[in-house]
Chain A
Amino acid sequence: MENLQLIIPELFISIIIMFLLIFGVFKKNSSQIVYNLTTVSLVAALALIINLDTQIQSSLFNNSYNIDSLARFMKILLILSGIFVMLSSSKYIQINKISKIEYPILILCSILGMMVMISSNDLIVFYMGLELQSLALYVLASFNRDNLLSTESGLKYFVLSALSSGLLLYGCSLIYGFSETTNFNQIMVNTKEIEYGLTFGIVFILVGLAFKISAVPFHMWAPDVYQGSPTSVTVFFALLPKIAALTVFIRFLYIPFYELGDQWQMIIIFLSIASMVFGAVAAIGQKNLKRLIAYSSISHMGYALAGLSTGTTQGVQSSITYITIYLVMNLAFFSCLFMLKRNDEYYENIEDLSGLSKNHPLLSLSLLVVLFSLAGIPPLAGFFAKFYIFVAVINEKMYFLAIVGLLATVIAAFYYLRIIKIIYFDPEKEKFESKHNLGLKFTLVASTFFILAYFIYPSGIVNIISQININ
């Protein structure tokens, strides 16, 4: 029973979900209040997580739920991103008339599911968390139900995601069949010998997970869903599920299947190279910013996977650093996107940015910083993210992967430069509104500052992450 205090954040969020549901149903026109309460409760959950004893390293519920340094860090990252997403998108959902009480509650459900995923140490617990977050996400993707694109994207995501969940579940059952247990640690103990069934199980699970982080060749849903969903949901898609899925990736690869490195390493390398290259090439022709960022995030996930493919602690840490910096960059990018508003209409085509720098010098400067950082040009944070990955990769003598990755950055630089060209070199267009709510401004300023000033003290994050150990 005393272990229960370790999952207080999760319990807290569950209680808040129920409370808000009841509150929202009984009080009329309470969508804004529910929204704000959600943000506040996320802050409270963050405080609860930080408040947990850092030394504790324990497994709950018959060793199926892990509270360790990895889970702690990832949960902090998750909740922080959640808070910033809520802060930056509040105005957007009002204007687009999707401000309903269900919206923040679904977000909370999804976050709860992700927290369960992050901590899971058992196939069944993991699957439960995954489904909780996915179900909430299906609804969120099609939340703007009067919009054709939004409903389409929701349906598409649902069908494809259900398929991948099916594969994943099949993989889980194969693993269970061949190792006679669902517990991660037990699987490691029971699978000393390689059997075909086991390999198939690993492949199916990796496919399912690759789908969740939209790695090539399981990326097909991402551009459509990113573009079709309301932008406030897109930013959610771009940030939070990636954290959870990457954590699960780390757990799967480094706990149950660690001994089977030969089996999965080639798969991860392939996923990584394919994502880096495809993401970079396919983004070149895009006209819609949300679609472009979908391809860009595919490519970024390729780099994160490259770190994982090394099979070393250093590689995992470099991936975690990468995802941290990736989150900040994407948050900054979407905050800029939320600012492209004129007469209650949001603009999301690249052409709309034309000549932005003349009317909105500060906004364009932030975009400039974010885009160069996404392209990985020093001295911005994005460079360091890639740098750590390549340090880990080259340490394992995987030169091919490193060189392909670096060449992909050059290709990717092209489309980031193209946006900068449109912002800075092209003739100006009509002005956008320059009044924005405080939360959005704060998000943009904080994230841009992080990207710009990261080089002054790069050790900070690395030191925190280097304390994460994965068995």
Chain B
Amino acid sequence: MNFPILSSLILLPTIGALFIFFVRSSNSQYQSSKYVALFITLANFFLSLYLWIIFDKSIVDFQFVEEREWISGFVNYKVGVDGISILFILLTTFITPICVITVNATIKNRLKDFLIAILILETFMIGVFCSLDLVVFYLFFEAGLIPMFLIIGIWGGERRVYSAFKFFLYTLLGSVLMLVAIISIYWITGTTDVIKLYELGIDAKYQNLLWLAFFSSFAVKTPMWPVHTWLPDAHVEAPTAGSVLLAAILLKMAGYGFIRFSLGLFPDASLYFVPLVYTLSLIAIIYTSLVALMQEDMKKLIAYSSVAHMGFVTLGIFTMTQQGIEGSIFQMISHGLVSAALFLCVGVVYDRLHTRLINRYGGLVSIMPKYAIVFMVFTLGALGLPGTSGFIGEFLVLMGAFKKNILVATIASLGVILGAAYMLWLYKRIIFGKLINEDVKKMVDLKRFEIVTLWLLVLPIIFFGFYPEPLINSIEVSVANMIDMNDLDKINKLALGE
């Protein structure tokens, strides 16, 4: 492996950002900086696609590993991918160009700065999914706060300052404990290299506290009930592209972290805390679904539905079964696509009417038929109709859960019904109903770039709904290895008293 393909993936967006930064700004060049950003992000997407193609799905080990001395004698810069992380990288590089396309309509001022923020953010996001060293992971994980804080704060809505602060301080507070845990791991085992840590294992007596420290960070980021309150605020105030990135990728960092670190490094503690995670996940699924039902703001509704969906993800991960974990990963990818699409859909109507209140809309089907079609696909994807990617994820998660605990699985299934309720009701109130509002009548149907972006998202949602094989194929070996390596099955059996 000579060509450092992962480092190029990480660095390319930053190089693009620097390029945009150094090009002198004038109004005419705003357009050109957009093309630069689009070019860079697309190049990154194809690079990661190429990575996925040459990635050997039958090998358990991490591939394309790069290692370089960084803080001498202490931390090495180490990146690599396995079947799980490569999907998240692909998701990141797929969603970012879509965000870049949408900036035209949504960002009115300081376009250049916005593009730079998005590109820098992409670097950090890819870095999170690649890093194979705890310190490097923490670095990327935290650094993402800076661009996101600015995206919400500069280009956000009315209460942007409040939301930006809440977002930043919540996540920072959550993750400082993780830093303590990471340094402690270094002093306990002598390394922060994830691969070595997998081999060494961590003494069971330390695991519980370390697990809690990691959990505090991931739970805020996921977000799990009761620390989810920053998410609706952040989503509502962020500009469309910001909401999309937040929902599609930033939330997935935590789910990824749960699999890679909580399960991978602290299997005993993970088992010990299963009841806690189950409880919080179930509360998230049921409670936030009910809250979502009552929302009058579209973005808030989708934000709460994200919390509920992430509840499925955490539930699936901590069933610690092959199906459960695969389902969770699938659910994350699917939710990344669907929630991104839903936020784009909200953005489309928001740009026209400048309100997100559901009751201001109604009867859009007669004036925006194209919009009605794509919105329907995404609604169905969100509620998990068979034939969309949402179904596969939820189904696998529930399968894993039924294997473990029937009560938990039954309650979680209720969440699916509630999900259908709030999504369909949302669709009904916006698309159907009487066309009363005069402003709504003046709205025009999708423009060309909107059609492109939205259909780009429709395709994978339906494709993976019918044919999930490529994704499952890619994660299967890695998940099986994760379960094997940590004897999660054995631990499970012991716990069940078999």
Contact = CB atoms under 8 A, between A and B. Distances in A.
Contact of A402 (B135, B173, B180): B180
B177 A403 contact: yes
A383 to B, nearest CB: 8
Contact of A372 (B146, B161, B165, B187): B146
Interface in A393-440: 394-395, 399, 402-403, 406-407, 409-410, 413-414, 417, 420-421, 424-425
Residue in B71, B74, B113, B138 whose Cβ sees the most chain A Cβ within 10 Å: B71
A394 to B, nearest CB: 5
Nearest to A393: B183
Contact of A379 (B139, B154, B165, B186): B139
A197 interface: no
Interface in B310-363: none
A19 interface: no
B145 interface: yes
A399 to B, nearest CB: 7
27 contacts: A377-B142, A377-B143, A377-B145, A377-B172, A378-B140, A378-B142, A383-B142, A387-B179, A390-B179, A394-B184, A395-B183, A402-B183, A403-B177, A406-B176, A406-B180, A407-B176, A409-B172, A410-B169, A413-B172, A417-B149, A417-B164, A420-B149, A421-B153, A424-B150, A458-B70, A459-B70, A459-B71
Contacts of A406: 176-177, 179-180
Nearest to A386: B179
Interface of A: 361, 372, 377-379, 383-384, 387, 390-391, 394-395, 399, 402-403, 406-407, 409-410, 413-414, 417, 420-421, 424-425, 455, 458-459, 462-463
Contacts of B187: 394-395
Contacts of A384: 71
Interface residues of B, number: 34
B160 A425 contact: yes
Nearest to A384: B71
A403 B70 contact: no
Given A414-B165, A424-B150, A399 B180 contact: yes
Contacts of A391: 74, 183, 186
A421 B139 CA distance: 23
A153 B386 CA distance: 74
B30 interface: no
B139 A378 contact: yes
B165 A417 contact: yes
Interface string B162-202: 00110011001100110110011011000000000000000
Nearest to B72: A459
Contact of B183 (A361, A394, A420, A424): A394
Contacts of B160: 425
A459 B177 contact: no
A378 B172 CA distance: 11
Contacts of A390: 179-180, 183
Contacts of A409: 172, 176
B69 interface: yes
A304 B150 CA distance: 30
Contacts of B183: 387, 390-391, 394-395, 402
A383 B138 CA distance: 11
B76 to A, nearest CB: 11
Contact of B154 (A361, A414, A425): A425
A278 to B, nearest CB: 19
Given A417-B165, A424-B153, A378 B176 contact: no
Contacts of A463: 72
Identify the 4 closest CB pairs spanning chains A and B, nearest first.
Answer: A406-B176, A459-B72, A378-B139, A394-B183
A420 B70 CA distance: 30
Contacts of A425: 153-154, 160-161, 164
A410 B172 contact: yes
A377 B70 contact: no
Contact of A424 (B74, B143, B154): B154
Nearest to B109: A358
